Amino acid sequence: MNLALKDAYIMIVEDDTNAQLVALDLLRMAGARNCYARKSAVSALTFAQSLPRVDLFLVDINMPGQSGYDLLAELRQDTRYAQSKVVAVTAGTLEEDMEQARSLGFDGFISKPLKMSQFARQVTQILNGQHVWDWR
């Protein structure tokens, strides 16, 4: 699948407002036009239903209420998101954190703080079927 950043529908699920804004700004500066952010798994799922599709969910792991792991499990059970990529974006930067995300079925892993010069390229790689497992 070749999907340009400008054509992708991306949902950022992040409870920290500053982290949300950084991710949104980096993606929009790189040309993303359909980029949305929500603070919880419940809110993200509700909003995602109003979109024509979601190509990529960028999911924080440690959120109050439902965790990123909980959201991943819900997305994997919902046929509407069968083609969606789900990537962990988290401050958990140990190799064990990345391996747990991989074993649970995430499509990639990007550690925080985001690398400003690489983030949009990493997202583009994921959208185009490449694997990104960046835990440092």
Domain ranges in the chain are 5-134
Here the tokens at position 79 are 């046929």
Residue 77's SS3 state is helix
| Average pLDDT over every residue of 111-135 | 93
pLDDT in the model for residue 136: 72
Q: Looking at domain 5-134, which of 3.90.76.10, 3.40.50.150, 2.40.50.100, 3.40.50.2300 is its CATH number?
A: 3.40.50.2300
Percent of the chain residues topping a pLDDT of 70: 99
The answer for 59, left when phi > 0, alpha when psi is -120 to 50, beta otherwise, is beta
Phi, psi angle pair for 81, to nearest 5°? -115, 20
The pTM for the full model equals: 0.95
| Average pLDDT over every residue of 52-60 | 97
pLDDT in the model for residue 93: 72
| Average pLDDT over every residue of 73-102 | 92
